[in-house]
Structure 1
Amino acid sequence: MNYANHDELLQRIGENLRIIRIIRKEKLQGVAQCIGVSHPVLSKIENGRSANLTIALLANLCNYYRVCILDVFQPEQEFHIRMAKNRQYNAPKP
């Protein structure tokens, strides 16, 4: 992984988190409520505009989605390959 800057990294993380949420057919507001943030905060994260994203919040999101934190750092092509191989991304949260 090679990112030119912090903004590109936030963009990649946000895109990957949004892909997971959409595939799981979950609403932004529902996920935000479950992890204890407002939906505007989660929207900013998914759009790569949250400079205040903490490791703790990222870990909460990954735990909620049941994905490895390293997966959300993956470039788009590698991320989609991992998603296809690991069907847990499609599994709804119990």
Structure 2
Amino acid sequence: MNTENHGDVGKLVGANLRQFRVNKGISIDALAKQIGVSKLTLIKIERGEANPTLSVIWKIANGLKIPITALLSIESDVSIVRKKDGLKLISANDVFVVEPLFRSHGLIELYRGYLQPRGEYLSEAHQPGVMEFVTVMSGQLTVEVDGNTYHLDEYDSIRFKGDRPHKYANPSSSVTILHFVISYHNP
């Protein structure tokens, strides 16, 4: 995860990761093996010394079976997320930026996303039962799920099962702006 204030964010993610891991009774070794992230990386994240990628944060959240925003925020009764002040998570290839809008309360998360011109982002499968709802607010988007490609224009929306690998691509020469809702299955 690359962020504008990555020091503070790294410490917040680390503290939240440790709290969830300990509360669930999972050792750092067990979590590392379960999610395919090295023990050293997890130790550095918990200490606030690492700057994890969006992919690593998703692996951690999936492994702990928590919404990603649970790792990224602090509780508040009223929250306003302004574009200029929002937390920005950047993909490893720097073409996809997502902004968690609020901490998850219950079973949904909200995000704003920006996909650079001609950019592609491959998302790993999320937790079983996860559904994604994506609306193109500006630009164009193609979404690949289960070998099928879907083309969306401005204000088009798509819903799909996010518990399988999927890809977002911007076929245009301008930034695509997206709004995401991620819904977690309640077992």
**How many pairs are equivalent?**
76
Q: 1:9 maps to which residue?
A: 9
Question: What's 2:26 paired with?
Answer: 26
Deviation per residue, 1:36-77 (Å, 9 max, x gap) = 1221111001111112x10001001101111111111112xx
Structure 1 moving runs of 4+ over 3 Å? none
List aligned pairs for 1:29-40, cutoff 5 A.
29-40=29-40
Identity, % of aligned pairs?
29
Q: What's the TM-score, normalizing by structure 2?
A: 0.38
Structure 2 CA distance for aligned equivalents of residues 38 and 69 of structure 1: 19
| Structure 1 unpaired stretches of 5+ | 87-94
Instruction: Tell me the equivalent position of 2:59.
Output: 60
CA distance in 2: counterparts of 1:64 and 1:45, whole angstroms: 15
Once residues 37 and 64 of structure 2 are traced to their aligned partners in structure 1, the CA distance between those partners, rounded to angstroms, is 15
How far apart, CA to CA, are the structure 1 residues paired with 2:41 and 2:7?
16
User: Greater Rg, structure 1 or structure 2?
Assistant: 2
Q: Select the structure that is richer in strand.
A: 2
Structure 2 gap segments, 5+ residues each: 77-102, 107-187
Kindly indicate whether the alpha-carbon contact (under 8 Å) linking 2:32 and 2:42 is maintained by their aligned counterparts in 1: yes
Contact 2:37 2:56 in 1 (8 A): no
Alpha carbon RMSD of aligned pairs, Å?
A: 2.1
Q: TM-score scaled to structure 1, two decimals? A: 0.72
Q: Secondary structure at the match of 1:34?
A: helix
Distance 2:58 2:21 in 1: 15
Secondary structure of the equivalent of 2:25? coil
Q: Which has the higher contact order (CA 8 A, sep 6+)?
A: 1
